[in-house]
Amino acid sequence: MKQKTYAILGLGIFGSTIAKTLSEYHCEVIGIDKDLANVERVAEFATQAVQADFTDIEQLRELGIQDVDVAVVATGSQLESSIMAVLHLKELGVPFIVAKAKNKLYMQILLKVGADKVIRPEKEMGERVAKTLLSRNVVDMIDIDEDYSIMELSAPGDWVGFALKNLDVRNKFGLNILGVRSGNEAKLNFSINADYVIKAEDQLLVIVEANKFEAMEYQGKL
């Protein structure tokens, strides 16, 4: 299957991190920024790193941005520039546009002008860290949507020594176990079955109905 192509507009820490991560997965990445120092920072790993003004639609067109699958507007603090970039990307026919926003108002505006998805990195990371601090078992988590999350959990003490089929975690906790890591450094094992017996050092990769899980976990029922 053909890898998607990405354009990253704005190559600060946020944008350059996205560009580097996508490049590590062998995606085609075009990085754009007016600041030459930012462009040079991603030049070693991006498919193409260009010093250009992404508020100028003609410069975007010359770079072939109309042919990418996804564009990320990664400058959350400059609302006017972000709006112009989103409008240009829509006019060029980019299928999916992600934009960064620094607050709720910016998020609402960027959605109205055509962004398909708007993220607030500081808010989302703050919520993620807070949830792991509140939890006794959560090692890491990613919210899939408003209802479901993927989490890596330290095996609760009450589960140790029991087979999965006896724990009945799906019905009791709204939790589906996807894989197990036996110790921090081990690889995830996705080939577990209902007879697998939980060990004290296990970390479990699970998908959960977030509200149901959190209510039980914070109340000490898990």
* Domain regions of the chain by residue span: 5-119, 124-218
CATH of 5-119, one of 3.40.50.300, 3.40.50.720, 1.10.1380.10, 3.40.50.80: 3.40.50.720
Q: Which residues contact 80 (CB under 8 A, 6 or more apart)?
A: none
Closest CA to 14 of 33, 88, 93, 111: 33
pLDDT, one tens digit for every residue, the chain (222 residues):
567 899 999 999 889 989 998 998 888 999 999 999 999 999 999 999 999 999 999 999 999 999 999 999 998 778 999 999 999 999 999 999 999 998 889 999 999 999 999 988 776 666 665 565 555 566 666 666 667 778 788 888 889 999 999 988 888 877 888 889 887 667 888 888 889 999 999 988 888 776 666 655 554 555
pTM, two decimals, is 0.64
Can you name the residues that pair with 140 across neighbouring β-strands?
Answer: 152
The CATH architecture one would assign to domain 124-218 is: 2-Layer Sandwich (3.30)
CA distance 64 to 78: 24
Q: Which residues contact 18 (CB under 8 A, 6 or more apart)?
A: 6, 8, 72, 74
Q: Which residues contact 120 (CB under 8 A, 6 or more apart)?
A: 76, 100, 101, 102, 103, 104, 107
Q: Hunting for tokens 């090692």 — which residue is that?
A: 139
